[in-house]
Amino acid sequence: MFDIGFWEILLIGVVSLLVVGPKEFPSLIRNIARGLGKMRGFVSSVKADLDYEIDKANEIKRLVEKEAEIVRLHEIIEDNASGVSVKVNKAEASKVDELDESRKAEADQESAQSLADRR
């Protein structure tokens, strides 16, 4: 990572031993190791959080792509449905009109009956 070899680490250790002294040197090494451990834990936690968020973003991206595909398919269906002409002969059209009129008449009778029942 820092491209420090064995001899460089040994030189740093000897200089720090001379500066700090032999009594304080072990506690210094423990504190440095503890700090590095906390830093590693923090870095791994941040990495795990980033991986989780990236997975969520990828899932949202897949859902948006599926939604876009569904919209595209609906547009194709609507285009094909508008291009298809429905042929109805006059006899069938008159039957449909008669059914509509009879349904309207039944609805009017029911509403008139419900009004009469209320009085």
* pLDDT per position as a tens digit, 19-64: 999 899 999 999 999 999 999 999 999 999 999 999 999 999 999 9
Minimum mean pLDDT among 53-62, 68-77, 85-94: which range? 85-94
Rounded CA separation 71/16 (Å): 68
Q: Can you give the pTM of this predicted structure?
A: 0.48
The alpha carbons of the chain give a radius of gyration, in whole angstroms, of 41
Q: Is the pLDDT of residue 103 over 90?
A: no
Rounded CA separation 113/119 (Å): 10
Q: To the nearest 5 percent, what fractions of the chain are helix, strand and coil?
A: 85, 0, 15
